Amino acid sequence: MKRNLIILFTVLGILLNAQIIKTKRGIVTLDGIHVAKISNKGSEYTFMDLKENPIYTIEFVDKSIVDSVRDSYIKLNRIYNKEKVLELDYISPSAFSGEEKSAVYTSVKALKIIDNKGINIKNLDELFSKTPKRNLDSKTKEAYFVRSKIDKLNITVNNVGEILSNGKPVGYFTNLPTSFGSDDTITDKTFVDIEIYDANSKYIGKYITTTKQIKSVGGKTFTIYKEMSGRASILKFPTYKAIAERIAIMDPNFIKIQGKVVAGQVLKDGVEK
């Protein structure tokens, strides 16, 4: 009986303390009290006091990091002090909430910069003084690590299927489909695999168009766009550039940066190391 009463009072306490957050016609209300106004231009939302003085903005960002891994976050910016922009995680009241609801919910529940008295400038300024860190999952962290390595390689593919790193030839594709040259993405399903070689014509790996798999000569396998992270995304076809980037990560000996770009094995004074 005593235990049941404790549970009952706990539930009642939660219900009584729960805030009712609503946004209607650009007015944010907490428990029926008008506390702020909101407007938007695209994915950027401007929060104003009730006199329509703009205080801060929240911009939603959804970007591809590498392969199928995406990152979704917000950029928080004070209108009266634009020295710093914060990149933060955001929360939503439900999985189906739109950006406006998520912006308001994050402002109230996560960032505590809107309360029943309006926009809390003190809390907003404290947030910028502390610069909170984002909570990235392991998959997203790994994607950013891979992205940093790829950016250093600066890989491009020219119109004859040659792979370049920082402008220098390091390899090439063979068995290219007929659509190559007119389309950057590989949408054709061919019975012959697209193969990748280094600048010394050493076989590096292949891309199987029917399964969207990359297989390196070392036995590693990677499926392009197998999984999605962040917001729901439509299954896409890979570009030749994306395949070259991924095979470079799968086979570290394909492209190495040691003061200059080297294809294949590292050579010094003509001797293989």
How high is the pLDDT of residue 214?
94
173 within 8 A of 196, measured Cβ to Cβ: yes
Any idea which residue has 């917000």 for tokens? 74
How high is the pLDDT of residue 6?
41
How high is the pLDDT of residue 16?
38
The pair of structure tokens assigned to 72 is 């979704």
Q: Where are the domains of the chain?
A: 17-130, 138-272
How high is the pLDDT of residue 191?
86
- d(Cα 100, Cα 58) in Å, to the nearest integer? 10
What is the Cα Rg of the chain in Å?
Answer: 26
The stretches in the chain having pLDDT less than 50 are 1-16, 227-235, 258-261, 266-273
How high is the pLDDT of residue 18?
61
Provide CB contacts within 8 A for 157, sequence distance 6+.
163, 164, 173, 239, 240, 241, 244
195 within 8 A of 173, measured Cβ to Cβ: yes
Q: Which helix (H) or strand (E) holds 192?
A: none
How high is the pLDDT of residue 269?
41
How high is the pLDDT of residue 3?
47
How high is the pLDDT of residue 41?
96
Cβ burial of 214 (10 Å; 0-12, 13-18, 19+) is: buried
Query: Which DSSP string corresponds to 152-168?
Result: HH-EEE-TTSEEEETTE
Q: Which helix (H) or strand (E) holds 70?
A: strand 69-78
- d(Cα 239, Cα 68) in Å, to the nearest integer? 12
